[in-house]
Chains A and B, each alone.
Chain A
Amino acid sequence: MITPLVVVLGSLGTGALILALRRFVVPLALAGATLSFLAAIATFTQVQMTDSRVLQLPGLPSFPFLLLADARASLLAMVVATVNLLVVIYAAGYMTDERDQARFFAELALFTGAMQILLLAGDWILFITAWEVIALASYLLIGFWFERSGVKEAATRAFLVTRGADLGLYSGAIILSMEAGTTRIDDTLRLGGTAALVAGVALLIAAIGKAAQVPLQGWLQDAMVGPTPVSALLHAATLVVAGVVLLLRVFPLLSPSVLLLVGLVGGVTALITGLTAVSQRDFKRLLASSTSSQLGFMFLAIGAGWPGAALFHLVTNAAIKSSLFLGAGIYQHTRGSTRFDALRGVGRRHRWVYAALAVAGLSLAGIPPLAGFWSKDAVFAATLTGRHAAIFSLFAVTGAVLTGVYVARALRLLWRGPDTDERSDREQRISGLTWMAVGFGWLVVLAAVLGLAEPVLERRLGVTVPQRAAALLLGLLAALLGLVAGWLRPADYWLRRLRPVAERGFRVGDGLIDVAVRPSLALARSCDIFDRGIHDFVLSTGHGALRLALGARFLDDGIHRVVDGIGALGLALAGLTRRSDEVGIERLILALVSAVRTLGGRARQLQTGLIYRELLLASVGALAILLVVVLTY
């Protein structure tokens, strides 16, 4: 009965204890993670298929603190606790040489604890609280190395983007609570009609922000500046998964039109972030993009109406993605960077790590009998059998091929490369490798065998995971195709001109420039080149004629002038084209900018910076509003 509370307090209490004591940091963190893990397992075994455990604060029945452990929540809690335990074990090694371990492990504990609360929350207020704490903890953790350049900006960006999308959660939860007259999540999910539709869309926005789906996908790649265990946890079990958890939680609420939207978002994300992953030059950023892409698969499955498939994919993906990140972290310690040009050939130095990474990677790509194969096929079957099968399955297949491509590419880049001997003197000794290997190893094992969990999932949760023979075949084919393509040819071969755009992740904002402005500029540039070509051709023809005329000494001035005139004409044409590019496009953009700036300047004149004057203005405004209210009353 009390075990859900232990799951939560195991983490939060550890965090508080670490902060209070500031010593025995690693043992405390390990003990807390283990406690939380054991409690999660106990909860999972206690909770039967449909029954749920409710834990309320004693004495305060109207208080919105309600922990509710049903089968799905306790399963997810177990996944999170497991990943957390292994990541903490790994981090014990990874952070050996770091100062400020207390801060790191305390923040990590806060992060996990908040995620557990989120999973077990039975009330919107508690849910939102946990959601906020997760955002805060992720901000702290991404910005852990805040003294390095760019880290603060990345942390702030992640925070702001997710916070902006959080408005969706707020409005959704408020609409639901007001319509249902209660803040208990289960009661609000019985709503229907317009309220459910609006709330569903609002919650979808929140989920998109947290799960880094299109168009808010950019922050996730920047978030890679945090320590690697954080990335692993963030991608596998906590931050981004929160978005999917939200959708799974409110699935009964989502109407078919919202589901279509969910599926489309997921499909587009799987595609676009897959392309981004193929183009990345940094191992961790590649993994980050692939997380978005895999979450896109989950969105697809939810959109197709099969939350069970999404849940299954989430579970396997938690193991796969965290193991990949942990492997990347080991390499990062070896070479001091995660860029591919620094990591080239590192696979041949550390073959065991490479082999483990390969297992996890192939699992991600979906090669039988590894876990990813089963879950990805569940997603495939979901898209084939669900609504809108034509669109969704197309997205799924393309996404799977892209997955194969980037997995193969990463493996290839890690294996091939210059002879490693010349680098060996530069390679650092990896401290704490034992710890890291333990955490990493177990996760890889999980990533390989979790596919067997499917029947357990179906029996315990009562969800059905769709199965189709066609899906198995299709998935295998797509994965193999992608792997072969990715192994044989480099990224530039596949992406060509899309590469720089994809590498920056199709961002909105500067993404607009990439998608709209750059191509038109490029078009203009190629026109220019063409014009120059004509010009040169004309000139050389003219010169040839001149030489001919000189040689014959029968040159007619008229001909000479004509030829020269043609040359000048071509020159003028070329110049004109070039100017029209500048005038037409750049001037347009500049005019837009200056118009905005002028407007801003006008508005700024009111802003004298003298507080008393602004106060006066503000109060005059308030009086005016009051007057209007009174008059219209």
Chain B
Amino acid sequence: MTALLFVLLLLIGAYVVTVIERWAVTGRIDPVAPLAGALALLATESIVPRRPDRTLFDAAPVLMLISAVLAAAVLPLTSSGIVVDLATGGLFVNAALVYIMVALVMAGWGADGAYAMVGGWSFLGQLIAYSMLIVMPIAAVAMRAQSLSTVAIVQSQASVWNVITQPLGFVLFVLAAMGASFLPPFDLPNATALAMGVAGEYTGVRLAVFRLGRLVLVVTLATAITVFFLGGWLGPLLPGWVWTPVKTLVVAATLLAGGRYVPRLRQEHLLQWSWKLGIPLALTNIAWVGVTLLAVR
């Protein structure tokens, strides 16, 4: 029952995110367009490129969708509304996200196209750099909660949200989330300059699954930000199952809209900033959190 509800919620979330994304691009709110687009995609012919690595080509979109859904499965809607409350939930989110990278590499290689492959490999570098910035702020958050369980992490923010106590970790995590879900300005793997890169070779059903996976990924990451830094279901007046979706949507809208106003980064800058600036800052964040924890106690 919970699982069904969960899938439904994710689908709704993906739908709303699509609406928001279109709004961010075109400036108009059009609730029908996503459905129409999806139907159109399902109806079009699935073209397979010449000489693909068929297994990888077919498996990639599915893997992407699955890993996004799995990451979402350990994130709580309310204190009891969670599919599975793993003791290592925080780590599991990151583990699932890494498979996004595997999926994109598979897609890039399997399509047997130069642009797709460049896109796939460049995402490899990007995600390895940015998964550090995902896992290190999570470590800091878990330090405060003294647990890796996502429910315990939310409960630890009862007095004050983590965004207040660890602003540095929050900023890094948001940037890393944008990098991991290849939103602009981090959208190297499917950039228009690469003829849509990884996504370029997909059509029809496969493209639909690919896009759905991406949307679910955005929802998942927005939920993760909510859970780890914005107090999850905690909030005044309204019940918890309202607060989490509301916060998630706000975060998703910010993620989608915010990047539109920044020019796309070059890959070397992207990597340099992550390795040379982001990781020292993340370590500083961990040290800072450790010091505050010791000082408060």
Q: Please determine if A and B sit in direct contact within the complex, based on CB atoms under 8 angstroms apart.
A: no
By a beta-carbon cutoff of 8 Å, the part of chain B in contact with chain A is: none
